[in-house]
Structure 1
Amino acid sequence: MPQADINHWETAIAEVLPDDVVVRGRRLTDILGKLSFAEMVYLVLTGSEATPGQARVLEALLVSVVDHGISPSSMLTRMYASYGVPIQVAIAGGELAFGDYHGGTSQQIGEELSSLVVAASATPGDLDRNLRTTAARHVAESREAKQRVLGFGHPQHDVDPRVPILLRIAAEEGVAGLHTRLVSYLETELAQSLGRRVPASFQSVSAALALDLGIDHRAARALIISPRAIGLAAHFLEEVDQGHRIRNVSGGQVTYTGRACESNVEEVST
């Protein structure tokens, strides 16, 4: 295969014209004031225009993650703010906290849900029954391997209050599809295995809804960090207004565990 010319750029996303910008085949001047932010996000990510139902679900999803109080991301943004850095640096620092432990598992969950739905769809027979069987097998295999089933439970909420509302809106708009149904079956199977209910987390539901909306699972984190940038901006401004400077760990919270200092000073006689 010939090597691609790294000095040549191709994009199907947008083109800058002398008098306009074309985004996914739509003139920006034609859609300004007509498309909502959620509709624009959908257009850019999928290349298609959202139906009213899809736009409502995506709008709810974006609104639900604008802020979540004092969390790792907002703590970092506020710490950076106390160091006197510009707002974009503080926001970027907070956004970098999203990963495998804080707010970023939706990407892995999305990839997992996608592969499980593909497997269930490839199996002959009733699709709904196949989804249930796939969910049961996945929970059993995860438990046998002593691995956590991703996407269930929340450190701060017994039941994440955002989840039932998002699911209701998705059901009302006919957007909830195979991936959302699979999350429900996984929750049922996990409850039967553990003997207690561990509710689906926002991460699993947001990943499932993104997939049912036709959004690539690799963009799942972007649907969280993009709205959260606004929340982090609010934390930055509040921190600055509160006048905190140089947030740090107090000396009493630090224990030195290294080797004791040995004096090498020898008395020199002349």
Structure 2
Amino acid sequence: MEERSIVQRPDPDRPPRYPTSLGTSDTSTITLLGHDLAADLMGQVGFGELAFWMSAQRRPTPAEVRVFEAVLVALADHGFTPTAIAARLTYLSAPDSLQGALAAGLLGGGSRFLGVTEDCGRFLHEAITTHAERLPHSSDDSADPGGSGESGGSDERAWDEVALELVEAARKERRLIPGLGHPVHKVQDPRTPVLIALAEENGVKGPHLCLFEAIGRVHPTVLGRTLPLNGAGVCGAALADLGLPIALLRGYALLARAAGLLGQLAEEQRSPIGMDVYLSVDRNAVHVQPPND
């Protein structure tokens, strides 16, 4: 029996259609999100607002923009992290490829650096979904991003009970709590209280930040020591409270870090250190026998 091809051949009388709600253009106009880019958006919409709008497919409120842009600022740069070093060393090797150096830094965003934003937001979101009936107003807030901000945070006991269970389960399973602890800021990450306060002031503090705060309160009881709530984690909680897609949270961290990496590369052009880093490693390399010899 002759097999039928599963590939649908194009109908010559019906041109293909590729729908998009983002950008289209013709000979005289560019349309973005249903608006005339030149007439309606340029000079009137900030880049942070546009990034939110394009990814969420809804225009953010001024309060949401303020918190969203605070997240971008918080994640833009954190010194000589592996992402910054990777970008600088790639530029050293290929100074003719700025885009390659920028991409190298972005590709270094993962579970230890930058990826914590997504990991924490996802962890909190899954916990809130699982324990929705036990948490005050958590369902309402999740369905109303940017709403009244009445997250039920005053009822700390309900949040603390769930947070305690989460920390105990993580310890039993020898898992880390995303957003808890920092290699440099041992006592307090300076970004965390500022972002929580901004979310509260702007009425967009929701269940994710409430649960994140509760983890900060209860974890010493289980772990026997106090760890800071880190900036990457609070950013993930804040983004989730804004109703942004959990699957895109790492993308927002990378968006922020792209600006920081561009700054790192600009500084590398003005005052290079890449060669010093390379020579330091190369000149101090010590040969050791392979472990199986």
**TM bucket, shorter chain:** 0.7 to 0.9
> 2:129 — aligned with what?
118
Partner secondary structure for residue 24 of structure 2: strand
Distance 2:7 2:160 in 1: 45
Which residue of 30, 33, 38 corresponds with 1:24?
Answer: 33
The CA deviation at 1:173 is 0.2
Structure 2 residue ranges without an equivalent (≥5):
1-5, 11-15, 139-151
Matches within 5 A, 1:69-84: 69-84=79-94
Which residue of 101, 112, 136 corresponds with 2:112?
Answer: 101
Partner secondary structure for residue 214 of structure 1: coil
Distance 1:47 1:136 in 2: 36
Q: Aligned Cα RMSD in Å?
A: 2.7
Matches within 5 A, 1:141-156: 141-156=169-184
Distance 1:114 1:259, change over 3 A: closer
Paired amino acid for 2:128: V
Distance 1:3 1:205, change over 3 A: farther
Partner secondary structure for residue 22 of structure 1: strand
Which residue of 213, 238, 252 corresponds with 1:223?
Answer: 252
Distance 1:228 1:119, change over 3 A: same
The number of residues matched between the two structures is 260
> 2:284 — aligned with what?
252
> 2:164 — aligned with what?
136
Distance 1:241 1:51 in 2: 39
Distance 1:259 1:188 in 2: 45
Partner secondary structure for residue 196 of structure 2: helix
Matches within 5 A, 1:202-217: 202-217=231-246
The CA deviation at 1:175 is 0.8
Paired amino acid for 2:290: G
Could you tell me the TM-score, scaled by structure 1's length?
0.86
Matched, 1:198 2:227: yes
Distance 2:35 2:255 in 1: 22
Distance 2:158 2:263 in 1: 46
Matched, 1:49 2:59: yes
CA contact (8 A) 1:120 1:131 kept: no
- Structure 1 vs Structure 2: percent identity of aligned residues? 26
Distance 1:254 1:239, change over 3 A: farther
> 2:144 — aligned with what?
none
Distance 1:214 1:9 in 2: 27
Structure 1 residue ranges without an equivalent (≥5):
262-270
Partner secondary structure for residue 31 of structure 2: strand
Distance 1:101 1:218 in 2: 17
Partner secondary structure for residue 136 of structure 1: helix
Distance 2:173 2:237 in 1: 24
Distance 1:242 1:125, change over 3 A: closer
Distance 1:252 1:19, change over 3 A: same
Could you tell me the TM-score, scaled by structure 2's length?
0.80
Which residue of 170, 177, 187 corresponds with 2:199?
Answer: 170
Matched, 1:62 2:94: no
